[in-house]
A and B are shown apart, each in its own frame.
Chain A
Amino acid sequence: MIDVLLITFLITLFYMAIANRLMTYIKVLAIQGILLFVVAFLQLEEINPLNLGLILLETIVVKAIVVPVFLVYILRKNNITREAEPFLSNFFSLIITTLIVVLTILLSNTIENTQLDKIFFIVAMSTLFFGLYLIATRRKIITHVMGYLVIENGIFVLSLAVGNEMPMLVNLGIMLDIFASVLILGIFLNKIGDVFKDVDVQQLNSLKDV
């Protein structure tokens, strides 16, 4: 069951690679939050109830509801156009995403240690590199934020893999999530939208050496 959910998670990345509209990205992020909720619920059996409650709160409330609602609010408030404006075509985007996944699978085959479920490693690393790819190839600043949120989801998958042995690390991951989301989205909501009207990365090139 966990495997099926994680593979579904991987498929959402492919969907994100070819999506054109920002609303689709937000919906995918919400779906990923729900998937993480179910995975966490099934995976973490040995954890105490209080901790489990915290994790569920983080996945369902923060990842699946609060952050998407917040992103929609930012889109509306700043009148950001709905296109994602990638630098590369969807075809290349799909090929690169596939390459990322294949390379992580190859990397995971070199692991000899049996303590980690390989699928967690594959999904987490693919998500991490896909998030970096998303940040590098989209024109809008808001898509950078979304890329970062995708990376955070990947990290959450990885922390679930060690969650039964070290619940402290899962809590730290949640802390990172909330801290970084509040900081980044907070700056975005309050400042970036007001100052940079078009919210395009091309505007962020005034700091120069010459």
Chain B
Amino acid sequence: MTLTYLIGALILAIGISVNRAKWLNYTLVGIFLLLQWTFTVYACFHLGETDLGYFTFDSLGILLLVTLSIISIPAMIHSRIYVENHHESGDVRAIYFLAMIGLITAVGAGYLANHIAVTWIFTEITTLSASALIYHHRNKLALEGTWKYVFICAISITFVFIGILFLSLSIQQSGTGHMSYSSLLASAPMMNPFWLRLAFLFIFTGYTVKLGLVPMFTAGVDAKDKAPAPAGALLSSVLMNLGFVGVFRMYIIVANTPLHHWANLVIGISAFLSLFVATVYMIKVKNIKRMLAYSGIEHMGLVMLGVAAGGIGYYAAILHIILHALVKSSLFFQFSQVYRVFQSKSIYQLGNYFKYNTTGAMVLLLGFISAAAMPPSGLFVSEFLIFRSMFEAHQLVLLIAVLLLLTMIIWAFGKNILKILFIPPVGFNENNVPRISPWESVTQFILLAAAVYLGLNPPVEFVQLIEQSLILLPH
């Protein structure tokens, strides 16, 4: 089935690229969504099985794959609205949808890969398709964003590759030459600690470009700023989850060696620095799209703090990335409506959004409440559990520092969002404001509601899947 999925996606992508007819493009995108969901349902019914040698439908992969498939539907709907509103030519439209299909397929396959090199390959492919999306507007700023993204991603994937080389050195003593996650886990107790340390450092640093942590977070922020909002929604939700998968699967292996505490220290330092950086930029930033991107860095920092603290923190981390993906993508989808009203990204030129688009303003308000983790947001539950795990790990000083930083982030975030919602902008011409259909916001409400539901009243199967994906970690 995985082969059918990959080949099917490839054929559909080629079909879109050779054909410029509008109805045919949209039909092919529709068929792709159908294929994506067929594959997801198939994967759910074959939990734990290995397909094609390199793909295993394990619980972490399934959870994130379902999240991806859920987000991909509104992503395609909003992409269509976006492309129609910009009156894009056939070429531009074809490349856009080609890159979207490539990105979704590569992210999905990367989640399920059971071999460290296969995850790495699909991460490379996401760089390629993301760069096509970032360059969508074909102007100087888009080129700058694309260049920075491609260059930093190239260095990062090189780092991951160096990490894989060191990992192969560390397992030479155990005699197995296989680098699938399961055989790496089996040989974990015999690994050479020196090489394993280097391997973990390089792999972690490399994946931070996708995950959005210090040190490689900068490229991702520029990318989310310059990519069209529906594509930015994918970059700031499901692609970040791919980075998490890359780090977390490696972390499981290291956690089963004596280096567990050292790895926690590395992750914890990087996570705390990310929170600090996110706070500094959130206070300063005036571009709403970049503000959302920095908020993503903050959330990934919290997730990694949960992982570093351990205990209930593992559970909270996985819950948090799923809920964050739903909330953050809905905020990005809403942004394209904001941009249509104000034709600007700068906070100075936005304001009084409730007057111009009431439904959209509701999304923005609810999205803000969700992203700031205020009840009844589902993120409140996961953040609370992360704080509890830090408390139980006796990291009180760190916890207090994190809470202080979070207070500043919520203040900055709230100040900007409330300005957009209620304070009239200076010198804004109301006559040209387009009427935006309330139906366009329906998908965003559904995503936000799903985040509340999964956080406050998680279904039994959902909890079981999260617990199964943590079963390999030491307790």
Contacts and interface: CB of A to CB of B under 8 A. Distances in A.
Interface of A: 110-113, 115-116, 128, 141, 144, 148, 151-152, 155, 158-159, 162, 165-166, 168-169, 172-173, 175-176, 179-180, 183-184, 187, 191-192, 195-196, 204, 206-207, 209-210
Contacts of B58: none
B177 A207 contact: no
B258 to A, nearest CB: 16
Nearest to A158: B165
A179 B124 CA distance: 9
B165 A210 contact: no
A184 B155 CA distance: 11
B26 to A, nearest CB: 29
Given A128-B162, A152-B158, A210-B286, A176 B124 contact: yes
A192 B143 contact: yes
A162 B143 contact: no
A180 B161 contact: no
A110 B194 contact: yes
B155 A209 contact: no
B117 A172 contact: yes
23 contacts: A113-B173, A116-B169, A152-B158, A169-B168, A172-B120, A172-B121, A172-B164, A180-B154, A180-B157, A183-B127, A183-B128, A183-B150, A184-B151, A187-B146, A187-B147, A192-B143, A204-B147, A204-B148, A206-B144, A207-B145, A207-B222, A209-B281, A209-B285
Contacts of B155: 148, 151
A133 B86 CA distance: 43
A60 to B, nearest CB: 22
Given A155-B158, A169-B117, A204-B148, 8 more contacts: A112-B194, A141-B147, A148-B158, A158-B165, A176-B124, A184-B154, A195-B143, A196-B143
Contacts, number: 102
Contact of B192 (A113, A165, A175, A180): A113
Nearest to B282: A209
A165 B172 contact: yes
A13 B383 CA distance: 49
A162 B166 CA distance: 9
A206 B141 contact: yes
Contacts of A155: 158, 161-162, 165
Contacts of A207: 141, 144-145, 148, 222, 225-226
Contact of A195 (B127, B140, B226): B140
Contacts of A210: 284-286
A43 to B, nearest CB: 15
B336 interface: no
Nearest to A172: B117
A152 B157 CA distance: 11
A192 B168 CA distance: 38
Contacts of B290: 209
A127 to B, nearest CB: 11
A110 B197 CA distance: 13
A166 B177 contact: yes
B350 to A, nearest CB: 15
A113 B192 CA distance: 8
A158 B194 contact: no
A123 B151 CA distance: 23
A169 B143 CA distance: 33
Contact of B154 (A148, A172, A191): A148
